[in-house]
Chain A
Amino acid sequence: MSGPSTYNPSTGIEKWLDDRLPIIRLGYDSFVDFPTPRNLNYWWTFGGILAVFLMIQIVSGIVLAMHYVAHEDYAFESVQRITRDVPFGWLIQSMHANGASFFFVAVYLHMFRGLYYGSYKAPREVLWILGVVIYLLMMATGFMGYVLPWGQMSYWGAMVITNLIGALPFIGDALREWLWGGFSVGQSTLNRFFSLHYLLPFVIAAVVGLHIWALHVPGNGNPVGLETRKGKDNKKDTLPFHPYYTVKDGFAIIVYLMVFAVFVFFLPTVLGHADNYIEADPLVTPAHIVPEWYYLPFYAILRAITFDIGPIDAKLGGVLAMFGAIGILFVLPWLDTSKVRSMRYRPLTRWFFIFFVVAALGLGWCGAVNPDDFVLGITGFKFLYLGQFLTFYYFAYFIIVLPVMGIIEKPKERPASIEAAVLGSDKA
């Protein structure tokens, strides 16, 4: 897709097909001979890992759907039956439930990679935005999937999140009833969540197609943040995707799958919550409602807003902050004013980035505990205050640090080319 095609159909059948539907050419140009920067490190392997996990979720999910019953009286039992009675159901259910977690681990690493190496900057803004769209769709899919087993956390998680919608002015109540299809989370809600949970992964697959299309126009970024040179120097900066990166990606995928297998086989329930093995009860709320781990930082941001901001009351403010935390990623390419992509050459911003990662993890911690507990037992230092400070930093990183640093920071000297960075002197 970038540069002229180098595909040469070798057999008669391939020639025949190439004149009618050049699909082999597309695959060849995209995944075999695609010129890829020669200096990609392992942070670049998570895209391939994500593609594998999307397939794992779709295949295991279609199998689960053959046995799952989307009814408030049978859903819980049907999932138990899958894990106990259906042949290999224990395996497939465990792959699906843990696969969601591994999917999110990979997407977070993939996104932090983008933040560190400036992958969102021109000319890759659309590529980045499509990535944020995929992430949002994954959040929605994971949320609705977690409702399906109809345990206590399923039910009350759905209750809390749909009630957040009720915070919207004027339309909130009507919108909430519309989502529920009734007067509470119930049968209609479960049934439609199942329908959408089945649908959205295929929408994700379609957006992934666009994401890769947008990737293959400018080509991959890379750790030094320089573009590959055009013309005859291009060969010096790049390697063909196959075999160099098929092997590197393949190796990373195998290692990641090995860790995944440890969870699937030996720790199938550690990432779940004990309360979700109690069937949903609309009359009893669990003592602590916590979402799945991958939502915890946003849950902390939601709970950090405990005060009214002008005409916006605390509840709506929390909802806006939570969605704003993701929404701000859409405009990130225009907030970062620095022309230097890679943090390797941004001595100050690099530290702000490292603290941003710490803040994100810290928010996850705040989301998991009671906001009124004390951090490390220090009397008076509530998790609420930590959460508020980290929420402030989360937004400040995008709204203050990145715009200002691009103007005041003096970047380090960068190598002349990717070739020089990899093959040249040790200095680069």
Chain B
Amino acid sequence: MTEENGAPGADGQEPSRRDFIYIAAGGAAAVGGGLVAWPFIDQMNPAADTLALGSIRVDVSVVAVGSEVTVMWRGGPVFIRHRTEEEIAEAQSVELDALPDEEARNDNLPTGTPGTDANRVLRPEFLIVKGNCTHLGCVPLGLGANTGDYDGWYCPCHGSHYDTSARIRRGPAPENLPVPDYFFETETTVKIGLSPEEASNSGWAVS
């Protein structure tokens, strides 16, 4: 490059002012391109109204001991099982190292919490979990259809067995069915979508 505007640059020598302009302009174009691309990528993420569609209220007094209901929350199923004494005892008796997934997977608790039954329920009699198999998303069968080899749920798609705490015990599913944020508003109503802490912070009655 010849000397221009007094810039001292020639081939293989000091970078010239023109080199600097090339690099600066190229860099600015790359950053600008990224800034323009981002809105077009981010628009596909869940929208504000989808995010706000957060919580539902369920009357659990209609769920008799030893039965379960499936409710729809955020476009997918949530299982609510009113567990019997035996089911609770069975869930509590399992050693952690018998679990393929040792984490609690409870949205109300920090990640890494061990997956004991106590860490997966607010009240032992009610087990509340999201109802999509953690393998590929099928809805496992439960009471009245097929509870699998561990008395919880059985996913017929590829044969995953869940126990009475909805923890994966056998089959291709990698994780326990996750526990959503929820709290008891009264003795008999559950609000799914807010953790007890969030609820009391925003002035909800927490029973």
Contact = CB atoms under 8 A, between A and B. Distances in A.
Interface of A: 156, 159-160, 162-164, 177-186, 188, 192, 282-285, 287, 289, 303, 306, 313-315, 372
Given A188-B50, A282-B77, A283-B70, A181 B45 contact: yes
B138 A285 contact: yes
B136 A164 contact: yes
Contact of A282 (B45, B50, B75, B157): B75
Interface of B: 44-47, 50, 70, 72, 74-77, 131-132, 135-139, 156-159, 172, 174
Contacts of A179: 44
Contacts of B135: 163, 315
A179 B159 CA distance: 26
A59 B138 CA distance: 35
Nearest to A176: B137
Given A188-B46, A287-B156, A160 B75 contact: no
A283 B135 CA distance: 16
Nearest to B70: A283
Contacts of B75: 182-186, 282
Nearest to B141: A285
A283 B74 contact: no
Given A178-B44, A178-B45, A184 B136 contact: no
A182 B46 CA distance: 5
Given A184-B75, A282-B76, A314 B172 contact: yes
B194 to A, nearest CB: 15
B157 A289 contact: yes
B174 A315 contact: yes
Contact of B139 (A181, A186, A285, A315): A285
B44 A184 contact: no
Contact of A283 (B77, B158, B159): B77
B72 A282 contact: yes
**B44, B131, B137, B156 — which one has the most chain A CB atoms within 10 A of its CB?**
B137
Nearest to A188: B50
A183 B44 contact: no
Contacts of B131: 283
